[in-house]
Structure 1
């Protein structure tokens, strides 16, 4: 059998439409893959990706999380938690994690549930789009409610996020429209933080203004307006996109494995396991990019210092060395103690993971009651083409009468 040359292009239509065949070849043929076209390396095996997430001294986040910013090799002057390494990251995370304690998340349950019901009540069961009519909306509403974003700005913030993440085929750098969207979103959050400084409310931004942070420099112990605005922008984007794509794509996966939907329909106690399996099977975040701080020897390949390195968590989550029959969707899977990497590991594991899990579980519960039997119009499902984010842009669904 003659194989074509292995090419991994994270900006190609083949990647956006589903990269799992490519991942399998990468794990087998080139676990340390080098892209001649884009000058980056990629790790695809669980045994390599998981430790790399924990090793910030080797794989740094300080130069960004996407290829365009990382390969510039510049440390950002803007102190967003997502591009900080210790010790600054440790101090910032300790502070912002206070708003994501188990108790704080549980206190949000009624609000989260109400937002999900609000949008599900609007859809037409005879035919609706799971993404465009449902999952694209409620996560942003939830995050906005937490932050204290006024109702009239929430749709615009969601649209700005979509524009900033969108990539045309072959596009690496953010478009001018994307840059403008980031600027406008930051301008909005900066103004909102200033407003909350003058008039505090019962919201996350006001809490972050009041909080004090341990610092290793001579700066004041409180967060600056820009630091809070950047955190709000990060949360408003990443926090909404993960759940939107996970829930939006769930009907596609369950339609392909209908016995799993039937199992879940008969036993709602399996919903948390179903969320974990959805995260593993087709993670909304397929990779993060890091910057190699020194030469790394791995599988006979040297990754030189100063190179972008893709940590392919989407591939690691389908690694047969880590998960039995990884391409089978099984909500009762025995994970053998190995966590899905959907939310990362180590210091940059997702702060909002518990919230995302709760939102997804509540949404699945309501969908099970709303559409116990359904069909997906596969011919008209379309995927997004976005930086880092994978999932569906459109998933047409119709609720069927339940068979007796």
Structure 2
């Protein structure tokens, strides 16, 4: 895997560019949308219309959903927190209406209630904090970070977005699943294409989906014959509790679905969030110096980055019953956008919420950057360990690293759902 991780492979620049990623899925690229989201929240915590409409952005060239519904947007912390926690009322079943998400298969992202609890409870032990530290870091994270830092040692300047942030997460999740060598990037290429029904011919989409299934089938077959210390081997042995209390082993398609979701989410969100955090540490250099002196602040920086600029600032839900909030009745059958980007900067919850504050006191209310409630990010602890290991490694190897003043100015870009840094150009020594 090391050869692929450190290779000069053009697929990294194709797969891990926020502009290319957004346009490939039929979206449009925007700069910082936070001022507009904040203004909407300050006007009213719930408003009729999609977030796109309320921000007065151009109509999307391709819609995420195959049907029209009444649309509302939740903008403050209280409402977004409630919608995330009350998943039977604000339902994740909305993802069933997205052809792209349907390609992932039977994923917990779309489940609610007892079904979601049973499917999630079965795999959660692989992603808790002790497992992230003792299993993921030991098996995959630390070695991958070391290999990437060895590569950076040969450079005077680098773009951390492509040379570190993009490479690390996709390597970790694909190794964790059980894919080897070049399969990491090949699999991600096919997985991305399999979800691009809005922008690619259906024949190409289905061909890519077939390749995804073929590659996963090979891993599962190999692990059934000879288990290894990886996620697929664990999934093969997992027992799903059924409604009547009995249990059964997972079917291959259910294992496929877990793998698709883990690789898609784990290889994307961590890439972008790590870049956002690194840029904030380097753009205000005192942050870098403070973390270097007190390494416990690195996790605080990651948490603050996820509050200050979550890479996914909006998520959808389907309202199952009429509900009245702040004097606004949202009828059953409506689609809502939970604007976490605005909720995470709610002045009712945080002082000076627009400021990235490394030393911000931990309040009673946690931020929503990793979600909340039953669908809180499954891989959150693994993602944080990847980011901690990467930042610690950079500080150890390149303690005087700084942003390159002669390089293009980094920008926060992306669509409404997925956002990250354009580049992070640095002088390493």
TM category, shorter: 0.7 to 0.9
What CA deviation, in whole Å up to 9, does each residue of 1:235-279 have, x standing for no partner?
A: 011112122112223332223322222221222221121111111
Q: How does 1:29-178 map to 2 (within 5 A)?
A: 29-33=43-47, 34-35=49-50, 39-64=70-95, 68=98, 78-107=105-134, 108-110=136-138, 111-123=140-152, 124-160=154-190, 174-176=198-200
Conserved 8 A contact 2:92-2:111? yes
Q: Does 1:27 align with 2:41?
A: yes
Unaligned 5+ runs, structure 2: 1-25, 54-58, 60-67
What CA deviation, in whole Å up to 9, does each residue of 1:8-50 have, x standing for no partner?
A: xx95533xx2211011111111422313668522111011101
Give the counterpart of 1:13 among 29, 32, 36.
29
SS in 1 for 2:95: coil
Q: Distance in 2 between matches of 1:391 and 1:119?
A: 20
Distance 1:323 1:278, change over 3 A: same
TM-score normalised per structure 2:
0.80
Distance 1:79 1:219, change over 3 A: farther
Q: Does 1:255 align with 2:255?
A: no
Q: Distance in 2 between matches of 1:316 and 1:160?
A: 34
Q: Distance in 2 between matches of 1:174 and 1:217?
A: 40
Distance 1:18 1:94, change over 3 A: same
Distance 1:11 1:307, change over 3 A: farther
Q: Distance in 1 between matches of 2:319 and 2:126?
A: 32
Task: Tell me the equivalent position of 1:213.
Answer: 240
Q: Distance in 2 between matches of 1:11 and 1:217?
A: 44
Q: Does 1:374 align with 2:397?
A: no
**Which is further off, 186-195 or 44-53?**
186-195
Aligned length: 379
Task: Tell me the equivalent position of 1:326.
Answer: 353
Task: Tell me the equivalent position of 2:14.
Answer: none
Task: Tell me the equivalent position of 1:282.
Answer: 309
SS in 1 for 2:296: helix
Q: Distance in 1 between matches of 2:367 and 2:195?
A: 24
Q: Distance in 2 between matches of 1:269 and 1:52?
A: 32
